[in-house]
Structure 1
Amino acid sequence: MSRPPTDASTPPTATPVTDGRRRRDRRVRAALVVAAGALAVAVVAGVAAVAAGVVRVDALRDGDESSAGPDVVSSPAAGGSPSTVARGPVQVGRDSVGGLPFGTSRGEVLSTVTERLGEPEMTVDPTAYERIPGQRGWFEDGADNLSPSWAHRVAAVTCWQRLCVIFGGGTPEDLALRGWELADHRRWGDEPGPVRGRQDPEVRVEGGTTLGDTWGRLSTAYPRLTVAGGEGASVTVRDLPWPGIFDGVGEWRLSGPWDPTRPAEAPAGARVTRLSGGEGPEPGCC
């Protein structure tokens, strides 16, 4: 097709060159505006991040970890893209672990606690307990009525350092959260005994106490507690704020020998060595 007559008198390259320069100028100016905006956003974000870090450090310096909030890390989601996962303390209490109530499925509990505390150190796989004629409950050893027993046919335990979480149910497939133990002495697995390594600051107990606390702090958190003697002159804690799990000595325990001449007093310097909640297999007695 021929060009319109008005275009014939105009040099063919004049208009495209002029229009192209104008378009390029507009694009450059737009790019500069976008870059400047991105830089401003980055600066603001950086300042906010630094401020948040200062707030967290100040909170930790003042001893108020709750105001500092949990650590946040990125981990791959199922589709491969990063997702935000909160890492922080696990609270245990009257009827829950990590905010999950007793009765929550084993899989959900393991996933939640592992996200916060890391991989567990020890696991007792689902184990079928046995009946003993004339006895109530299910026993770890069907020939020994003093062996650990409880109300569920199958038991499993998973431990992170001093925190052990107990699962029970009728079959391995329907195991659910039943209880927890926080103790310096682990009674589960092939090698029960004192737990080695650092204290667990990531595990807190409802009411604000944890292992290693003094008797004064524990009794302040739960004013109705009393002291009593246990097997081998151990010091046990009675009148608990919720049902606990008996380990053969007591549901909650303190360090130091019990003094029968002062049966209701904690030893000087006594500290918390065991706390528990819910239900779990308990050894029989005499």
Structure 2
Amino acid sequence: MKLPFKLRVILALFQLGRERRQFERNPLYHQQRMWRRFRRNTLAKSPLYGDQRESCIEDFPIQGKLEFTRDFDFINTRGIRFDDAMRVAQEAEDSRDFTPTIDGVTVGLSSGTSGNRGVFLVSEEERAFWVAMVLQRILGFSLKKRKVAFFLRANSKLYTSVQSRLIRFSFFDLLIPVEQHFNELNDLQPDIVVGQPSLLMMLVDAQREGKLRIAPHKVISVAEVLSSEDQKAIESCFQVSVQQVYQCNEGMFGQTCAHGNFHLNEDGLLIEKDWLDETRFQPIVT
């Protein structure tokens, strides 16, 4: 029996909480258990990786974005071709209708923080986990209805999944000049504003010029690297701390906490560290 989506989200919230506690008690054991589950439930269904499902993570091949795109048809477990996924995602961008799916799988394009946009697939179960992650670690819980103003160049069924009786989700299209959004923003009076730093700085300028009159309780930076200068300007203008969220094709990579520290979601992602020097590393994400 197919579970209602809201029930899936509730179950995902419980699972996220349980896995977070397990990770905090014993990170290494938790990640080993995650790897075994991933091999059993996912790799076994992948045409490319099926014969490597017994491999340990240290021996597992590393792929970059070029290799991932090249092998996309044989990596994913739903038999979806890269050309079909890219066509659906591109048609959605061109038409601005982001509802189409492929056999119930949400298709989207990443924002391309690294310079190259990639296509991603999200099943309904994965979508429920994403919503649970957003509620638990980014938006937080509240019995008061909150309004979210979400700025990005492309919407997705993944993002609109957070809409509920307690969260009003409003998408603001970045392909439309930002000035054309000011009246709607002033009418909406969003509690939460989500956008890339360059967009947030445009809102700062408009607020200072009196074209915009909003007082969000939370500002979230996404899709671009937030400089310390922009962070100070945004926080000074809206009098709230800026939360940073980084998402990649692999999922919700990490976010800052209330203290401004960046946390990797290592209870759900296996992140190996390829150290560049004593303080910096390049993540290898599973």
| Structure with greater strand share of residues | 1
Larger radius of gyration: 1
What TM-score, normalized to structure 2? 0.25
What TM-score, normalized to structure 1? 0.25
| Structure with greater helix share of residues | 2
